[in-house]
Amino acid sequence: MTLNIGWIGCGRHATWMLLPQIGRAGMRIAALCDRDETALSATAGHYGVTQAYTDWREMLEQPGLDAICMAVGPGVHHAATLAALEKGLPVFMEKPPAATHADALELQKASERTGVPVYVGFMKRYSTGNKIAQNILRGADFGRVLGITCSYMTAPTYFAGEVDYSGFYLHHCVHYMDLMPWLAGSPIAEMTVRRNAPAPGRILFHMGFTCENGVIGNVVMGTVQSRGTPMEQITVMGDHNRVEVDNVINVAWHRDPPFKAEDPEAVLDGACDSLVWQPNFTAAANEDHKGYAALMADVAKGLAGQPTDAPVIADGVAAMANLERMIAGIEQDQRGLFNAIQ
């Protein structure tokens, strides 16, 4: 059965990354909404949508909708989701689910009260390399996860107008506030943050954490690298096991091989030598290694009332709680640095 969805948001991210996956996931855009009439008209024409709105409240009144999906901003995510839940319409929203942890928690409570699900777009879980890594970590051969180190960088493109780190935190950093506990298999219990900010809009910080299950880790994030370079590296350590994910598409699994230099009959042993995977970009296949196609396929299952592994609003609440703790740590370190200089 095709799901008739109402979609809010016709910006660059929605039109380039999410809307192309709708048809592949078995959904149909029955109504479309954006305040920008030019973007709305162009997107409606591209997808053959005849019901177009500039006010999402009016769109929610359209009969025949099975679900509401949106990729706008945290304010609309919060308000439109509350309204959709009251109408019994399940929701998918891009991250972040709201501007604050408190607002995200309000959405979770509304979802629980109405019994209507809300799904959140943490597509990093679905990036090919991260998905392979997770399957290895949860398999019988890896053993217990001990530690995680990673970096997730970007350039200062969030600050075209004025330096306001909230966009960077909400739209960039929040991904790893979800991904790290997901890889560790446990919520974050403790957190410390150190920062270095050489100029307005340029910030680098290291976040150390310990999870409830004992996994320790460190995340490096910031706006001091070019977006033209690889942005992500993840290493997960176990006992004589190590999984590395580079730029979400290169995966290496290092185990416990013997030394080979003095063995004249040395070969590569699939049972213990390192395994490496890279995608074949020359294949004539429409593969999405960033993870949006797989995310929306899982979301479609949930919106249709089927079992799914898609991230839910509770995951968004946990990520926002981690994010606000991280921001508090950055601000505390800034005050401590200022006091030390004084």
Burial 176-200 (b: 16+ CB within 10 A, else e): bbbbbbbbbebebeebebebebeee
Per-residue pLDDT tens digits for 131-179:
999 999 999 999 999 999 999 999 998 887 788 899 999 999 999 999 9
pLDDT at position 107 over 70:
yes
If pLDDT is split at 50, 70 and 90, which confidence band does 328 have?
A: very high
The least confident of 9-23, 74-88, 281-295 is 281-295
DSSP E strand boundaries for 2-88: 3-8, 27-33, 52-53, 67-70
Neighbours of 62 (CB within 10 A): 14
Say yes or no to pLDDT of 339 above 60: no
- Dihedral of CA 175/180/185/188: which sign? negative
Predicted local confidence at residue 73, as pLDDT: 92
Nearest-CA neighbor of 183 among 231, 140, 236? 236
* C-alpha dihedral, 158 to 164 to 167 to 169, nearest 10°: 110
What's the rounded Cα separation, in Å, for the pair 159 and 27?
Answer: 35
Statement: residue 196 has pLDDT above 50: yes
pLDDT at 337 over 70: no
| Structural fold of domain 125-284+323-330 | Dihydrodipicolinate Reductase; domain 2 (3.30.360)
State how far the Cα of 338 lies from the Cα of 342, in Å rounded to an integer: 6
Q: Are 31 and 84 in contact, with CB atoms under 8 Å apart?
A: no
> Which residue in 178, 18, 111, 77 sits closest to 313, CA to CA?
111
At residue 197, what is the residue type? A
Q: Is the pLDDT of residue 340 over 50?
A: no
Whether the per-residue pLDDT at 306 is higher than 90: the answer is yes
For range 222-249, the mean pLDDT: 95
- pLDDT of 94 > 80? The answer is yes
> 10 Å Cβ neighbour count for 76?
18
Query: Residue ranges of the domains in the chain?
Result: 3-123+292-310, 125-284+323-330
Looking at every residue in the chain, the average pLDDT score rounds to 94
Look-up: residue for tokens 């998918």?
92
Topology of domain 3-123+292-310, per CATH?
A: Rossmann fold (3.40.50)
pLDDT digits (tens, 9 = 90+) for 27-62: 999 999 999 999 999 999 999 999 999 999 999 999
- Read off the pLDDT of each residue in 235-246 and give the average, rounded to a whole number: 98
Which tokens belong to 188?
């974050």
The pLDDT of residue 335: 55
pLDDT at 275 over 80: yes
For residues 89-97, give the mean pLDDT.
97
d(CA 165, CA 160): 11
Res. 283 pLDDT band, cuts 50 70 90: confident
pLDDT at 161: 76
Percent of the chain at pLDDT exceeding 90: 90
